[in-house]
Amino acid sequence: VKAAGWAFEYDNDLYPDVDDVAVIALVLNTLGAGRPAVERANRWLAAMQSSNGGWAAFDVDNDAYWLYNIPFCDFGAAIDPPSADVTAHVVEHLAAEPGYEERVRRGVDFLLREQEADGSWFGRWGVNYVYGTAAALPALAAAGIGPDHPAMRRAVAWLKRVQNANGGFGEDLRSYEDGEKGSAWRGRGSSTPSQTAWGLLGLVAAGEASSRAARQAVGYLVETQRDDGDWDEELFTGTGFPRDFLIRYHLYRIVWPVLALARVKQALA
């Protein structure tokens, strides 16, 4: 396939990643701009779909888990398997693109298979199950999965269960740990603006914009906004490699709340 796309890093512009390409193409479509670039991106995204229907960040079918058995493999992320969050962003974009129906169908099937028993989705590139769930629900909605679908209802029920008493959402980095230690923190942690926005985005996509849970999340964001329009967020909510290094994206605390509040306004209009 002909090279196309956008890269994550300023000094690594020869290595585009699927997540950024999907989101940028989605934005360009929303603005009605850059159609030739979007079409090139679409072809590249289609070629990057793995055999199981999902998309990974950088590679196709890079899922050789046996590499972790090599004695000197002491770094946590040696492979790049498809993930729910990246797949969701591609599905959300391609669902509106004619000619990619089969790609979208396979992506939706991947997402439905990847849903956890509790209704959430794992977040590979954001902390963690709140992020994964917030990515999956808009994608399913864009692909025509209605709010009454069992997967949507299970996800909504999970979001409502883990919502904090102050209306916000938060998730501790320890949710990436294995076993009971990790599951105890799944969707649990101090409320943050970015994670609250993620929870709210998921609720809106599942038809819950007017629900009590959504109103409480909006209330949290409104009440915690500073007078200068910013929000305070000291916790790390971005993921580089789970359990190896996490990232604090300084614009997350602004961009995600603004997007979530805009989605609420749009849904209630």
At 84, list the tokens. 């729910």
Taking CA atoms, 192 is separated from 13, 32, 146, 167, in Å, by 31, 33, 29, 10
Q: How far apart are CA 132 and CA 269, in angstroms?
A: 27
Q: What is the pTM of this model?
A: 0.95
- 19, 20, 80, 172: which one is catalytic? 19
- Residue among 222, 214, 210 at smallest CA distance from 258: 222
Contact status, residue 202 vs residue 137, Cβ threshold 8 Å: yes
Is the model's pLDDT at 181 over the cut of 90?
A: no
In the chain, the amino acid numbered 242 is: P
Q: Can you give the residue ranges of every domain in the chain?
A: 1-114, 147-269
Is the model's pLDDT at 73 over the cut of 70?
A: no
Q: How far apart are CA 169 and CA 242, in angstroms?
A: 20
Q: How far apart are CA 102 and CA 46, in angstroms?
A: 10
* pLDDT for residue 196: 99
Band (pLDDT 50/70/90 cuts) for residue 9 is confident
Q: How far apart are CA 168 and CA 180, in angstroms?
A: 24
Angle at 240 between CA 253 and CA 228, to 5 degrees: 10
* pLDDT for residue 69: 76
Contact status, residue 144 vs residue 95, Cβ threshold 8 Å: yes
Task: Give catalytic status of residue 244 as yes or no.
Answer: no
* pLDDT for residue 1: 82
In total, the chain counts a number of residues equal to: 269
